[in-house]
Chain A
Amino acid sequence: MKQVFITLGLISAILATILSVLPLSNLAIFPAIAALIFGLIAFYLSKKAGYVKKIIQFTFLLTIVALSITIYKAVFTTVEVTNTEDLIIKEEESKQEALEELEGLDLEDINIE
């Protein structure tokens, strides 16, 4: 039983760490919470048996690292749009083409009031 919780805790902690460094860092919160719960259960069961394995401490360490990265990214990283040069060029080209096309249309005298 103890081994199951240790394994689940470790898998969750590794998953949380991987997610925390990806753009999906917000999602790392779920495996991080799971890792904490599994880790605590494993810790309790180990303590009852009289010996706490180092792997449980490692699970907690990984979880704390994952949570720290997630919180840091959520608080300090500002989302921004970059690499829009192509889009801006496309917009300009599209406008020029559209104006040429509109010149050929039979538009009644339409003006902005």
Chain B
Amino acid sequence: MMRTLFFLAFLVTISINAQNNAIGHAEKLVFTASYNMSGVLNNIAEVTMETSEAKTSKATLLRLKCTAATYSKWDSFFKIRDLYESYVNPSNLTPYLHNRDVNEGSYNKAMKYTFDTKTNKVKSVQSKKNKPDENRNLTIHGGTKDIVSTIYSLRLIDFKNMAVGTKKTFTILFDWEEMKGQVTYLGKETINTAIGKKECYKLAIGSNQPDVLKGTNSNFLWLTADGNKIPVYGKFKIPVGNGELKIKSVAGLKN
């Protein structure tokens, strides 16, 4: 029993600290986010995932940046300009700094996490419009990542040697709380995308927070079954409806 537990822990550690052979330092992925309204999908926003180098005097980190912006026709109804970014170790995507700047309609919120990877402590600062900044020091479990580096970390998982039905769990720090996420590998599937017909790894994504992702088998992500493992299509069910994420353009891939 103990041996099995150790083996499982070892497997999880492998997945968390997997080496980065998939994500380059000048990559740009552009997606179209659609929202289902009465059975009709409406393109509402453009989501961009970009990587770049971030040089300090001591080290060169990888900057993972995700932005979401509503299309101009929606701006007068509900304007979204969100920025999520993480500064990570380029070889294993361990986060050092995470910034979240949410600007949705009249709702504004910023959150910053500074990770101390040696002591598993996180210094956080939350800023809200017309409110004083709120500082908190958190203690996290080893391997806990922010939302951006977790999304990118999915691309480090070795699906090639994975049996269909295999589950991987990960812990995400979001809004001062550690929440559990789970990815289930569902096998390969070939789908048509804006960048051509692609053979993909199909994943089911779940969370222990029902207010984030609804259902255990309602959220799916397709990653290309090549060296880059880029996300090309996603189907999500959230509390206010369901939507899709489709790849629009790709540039600067590593492989």
Contact = CB atoms under 8 A, between A and B. Distances in A.
Interface string A90-113: 110011001101110111111111
Interface stretch (B67-75, B171-179, B207-215): B67-75
B89 interface: yes
A30 interface: yes
B27 interface: no
Interface of B: 25, 32, 37-38, 40-43, 45-46, 53-63, 65, 67, 69-75, 77, 79, 81, 83, 85, 87, 89-91, 96-97, 99, 101, 114, 118
B59 A108 contact: yes
A101 to B, nearest CB: 6
A113 B59 CA distance: 12
B69 A24 contact: no
Interface of A: 23-24, 26-27, 29-30, 77, 79-84, 86-87, 90-91, 94-95, 98-99, 101-103, 105-113
B99 A94 contact: yes
A98 B148 CA distance: 15
Given A27-B37, A30-B38, A91-B65, A103 B71 contact: no
A29 B25 CA distance: 44
B96 A105 contact: yes
Given A23-B73, A80-B72, A95-B54, A110 B85 contact: no
9 contacts: A23-B73, A27-B42, A29-B40, A87-B81, A91-B65, A107-B59, A111-B60, A111-B90, A112-B90
B139 to A, nearest CB: 18
